[in-house]
Structure 1
Amino acid sequence: MARLAALFALLAGLPAALAVANVTGIYGIVERRMPQHARDFVFTSMEGDGDVFVVSDTVNKTGSITVTCTTTSACARGLYTYATEFGGVDIFWTGSRLHELPSPLPKVGTPINGSAIVQYRYHFNTVTFGYTTAFWTFDKWSLLLDWLALRGVNMPLAWDGYEAILTEVFQEFGLSDAEIFEFYTAPPFQPWNRFGNVQTAWGGLLPMQWISDQQALQKQILPRMLELGMTPILPAFTGFVPSNMSAHYPNASIIDGSAWSGFPSTLTNVSFLEPFDPLYPQMQQSFITKQQEAYGNITHFYTLDQYNENNPFSGNDSYLSSVSTSTIASLRAADPEATWVMQGWLFFSSETFWTNDRIEAYLGGAQGNDSMLILDLYSEAQPQWNRTDSYFGKQWVWCELHDYGGNMGLEGNLAAITEGPIAALNSNGSSMVGMGLTMEGMEIGNEIVYDILLDQAWSSTPLNVSDWVAKWAARRYLVKTLPTELQQAWTILSTTIYNNQDPNSQATIKSILELEPATTGLVNVTGHHPTEIPYDTNTTILHALQLFVNASKSQPSLKQVPEFAVDILELSRQLMVNRFIDLYTDLINTWNSSSSTAQNVTTAGVPLLSLISDLDVLLYTNENYLFSTWIADAKQWAHGNVSYAAYLEYQARNQQTLWGPQGNINDYASKQTAGLVGEYYATRWQTFVVMLAEQKTSGQPYNATEVSQTMLSIGQAFDLKAWGAAAGETWGTKGDTFQVVDRVLERWA
Structure 2
Amino acid sequence: RNMLFGNALKLAEEPSRVLADPAKGQLLGLGAVPEGIEQNPVIYSLLFSHIWRNTAVELDEWFETYLESRYGCRDEAVEKAWDILRKTVYANEGNYESAITARPTFEKHNNWAYTDIPYDPVEVIKAWKYLLQAADRLGKNPCYRYDLILVGKQVLANYATIIQQKFGEDYRTKDLPAFTRNSREFMELIDDMDELMGTHEAFLLGKWLEDARSWGKTASEKQLYEKNARDQITLWGGKDAVLHDYASKQWSGLFKGFYKGRWQLFIDEVYDCIKTGRKYDHTASDDRVRSWEWEWVNGQEKYPAVPQGDPVVVSERMFGKYIKKLQQVYDVNF
TM normalised by structure 1 equals: 0.42
Match of 2:116 among 504, 522, 532: 532
Could you say if the C-alpha distance between residues 477 and 663 of structure 1 is closer, same or farther in structure 2, counting changes exceeding 3 Å? Answer: farther
Match of 1:569 among 149, 155, 163: 149
Structure index of larger Rg: 1
1:511 maps onto 2:101 in alignment: no
Q: 1: CA distance between counterparts of 2:240 and 2:23?
A: 46
Contact 2:101 2:113 in 1 (8 A): no
* Cα deviation, residue 408, structure 1: 1.5
* Cα deviation, residue 457, structure 1: 2.8
* Cα deviation, residue 516, structure 1: 0.3
Partner residue of 1:650? 227
Q: 2: CA distance between counterparts of 1:730 and 1:423?
A: 46
Partner residue of 1:737? 311
Deviations 1:529-571 (A, max 9, x none): 64321111112x1111111110112x1xx12211111000000
| Larger helix share, 1 or 2 | 2
1:483 maps onto 2:75 in alignment: yes
Could you say if the C-alpha distance between residues 543 and 521 of structure 1 is closer, same or farther in structure 2, counting changes exceeding 3 Å? Answer: closer
Contact 2:107 2:165 in 1 (8 A): no
* Cα deviation, residue 510, structure 1: 2.1
Q: 2: CA distance between counterparts of 1:721 and 1:429?
A: 53
Instruction: For 2:307, give the aligned amino acid.
Output: T
* Cα deviation, residue 605, structure 1: 0.4
1:520 maps onto 2:76 in alignment: no
Q: 2: CA distance between counterparts of 1:691 and 1:604?
A: 15
Instruction: For 2:251, give the aligned amino acid.
Output: T
Bigger shift: 732-741 or 425-434?
A: 425-434
1:545 maps onto 2:153 in alignment: no
Match of 1:455 among 42, 49, 69: 49
Paired residues for 1:617-696 under 5 Å: 617-639=195-217, 641-664=218-241, 665-696=243-274
Q: 2: CA distance between counterparts of 1:460 and 1:731?
A: 43
SS in 1 for 2:28: strand
Partner residue of 2:161? 581
Contact 2:200 2:307 in 1 (8 A): yes
Contact 1:627 1:673 in 2 (8 A): yes
Contact 2:108 2:161 in 1 (8 A): no
SS in 2 for 1:433: coil
* Cα deviation, residue 739, structure 1: 1.2
Could you say if the C-alpha distance between residues 675 and 529 of structure 1 is closer, same or farther in structure 2, counting changes exceeding 3 Å? Answer: closer
* Cα deviation, residue 425, structure 1: 2.0
Contact 1:466 1:494 in 2 (8 A): no
SS in 1 for 2:244: coil
Contact 1:630 1:652 in 2 (8 A): yes
Q: 2: CA distance between counterparts of 1:491 and 1:542?
A: 13
Partner residue of 2:88? 496
Partner residue of 1:438? 33
Contact 1:466 1:491 in 2 (8 A): no
Q: 1: CA distance between counterparts of 2:95 and 2:211?
A: 24
Contact 1:408 1:508 in 2 (8 A): no
* Aligned-pair Cα RMSD in Å: 1.7
* Cα deviation, residue 521, structure 1: 5.0
* Cα deviation, residue 697, structure 1: 2.2
TM normalised by structure 2 equals: 0.91
Q: 2: CA distance between counterparts of 1:542 and 1:672?
A: 18
Paired residues for 1:460-475 under 5 Å: 460-475=54-69
Instruction: For 1:517, give the aligned amino acid.
Output: P
| Larger strand share, 1 or 2 | 1
Paired residues for 1:100-111 under 5 Å: none
Partner residue of 2:332? none
